[in-house]
Amino acid sequence: MKRYLVLLLLPLFLNSIFGDVTITVPAVSTTDYGYVGTTINIDVRVSNGSGHVFIDTLPVTEMDMQSSARVAAKVAFDLCNKNQRDYDVYYIVRSKVPIIGGPSAGGALCVATVAQLNNWSINREVMMTGMIYPDGSIGPAGGILEKLKAAKMSGARYFLIPYGERYITVEDPYVEGGNITVDVVEYGRELGVEVVEVRSIYDAIYYFTNQTLVEENYTPNPVLEALYRKKMKGLADKILKLAKDNYHYVKARLERDPSAKLSYLLERNLKRRLEGAGENLDMAEELYSKGNYYSATSKAFGALIDLEFINTTLDYMESKDKRGYLKDYLVNIQEDIKNKKEIVGDKKLGKDNFEYILASKSRIYEGEYLLDRAWKEYYNDNPIAAIEYASYGKWRGKSGLWWLELSDGNGETIEECQLMPLAQKYLDNAEVVVLYSSMILPGIGPIEDAEEKLERAREYYERGEYLLSIGESIDAYVYATTSLNFNTDIDYLRERAEKRINKVMSRYGYLPISAMGYYEYANAFNNSFYRALYYKYSTAYAQMDMDILQEIGHNCTDQGSIFTSGNLSIPLGSKSGERKESHSTLHPVIFLFVGLVTGTLIGFFIRRDNS
Active site residues: 104, 147
Neighbours of 237 (CB within 10 A): 14
**Numbers of helices and strands, H then E, in the chain:** 19, 13
DSSP string, 15-44: HHHHSEEEEEEEEEEEETTEEEEEEEEEEE
Nearest CA-CA partner of 458 in 441, 446, 475, 437: 475
* 3-class state of residue 555 by DSSP: coil
Is the separation of the CB atoms in 362 and 396 below 8 Å? Answer: no
Is the separation of the CB atoms in 178 and 102 below 8 Å? Answer: no
- List beta partners, residue 25: 40
Q: 126-128 and 158-162: which strand pairing?
A: parallel
Is the separation of the CB atoms in 504 and 523 below 8 Å? Answer: no
What is the 3-class SS of 558-579, one letter each residue? CCCEEEEECCEEEEECCCCCCC
Provide the greatest CA pair distance for the chain. Answer: 120
Residue 161: its H or E element: strand 158-162
176: Cβ–Cβ under 8 A, 6 or more apart, which residues? none
Distance (Å, rounded) from C-alpha 501 to C-alpha 220?
A: 8
What angle is formed at CA 600 by the lines to CA 599 and CA 606, rounded to 5 degrees? 90
Distance (Å, rounded) from C-alpha 192 to C-alpha 175?
A: 26
DSSP string, 117-151: HHT----TTEEE--EE-TTSBEE--S-HHHHHHHH
Distance (Å, rounded) from C-alpha 205 to C-alpha 190?
A: 25
- List beta partners, residue 27: 38
What angle is formed at CA 132 by the lines to CA 126 and CA 134, rounded to 5 degrees? 145
Nearest CA-CA partner of 46 in 70, 21, 66, 28: 21
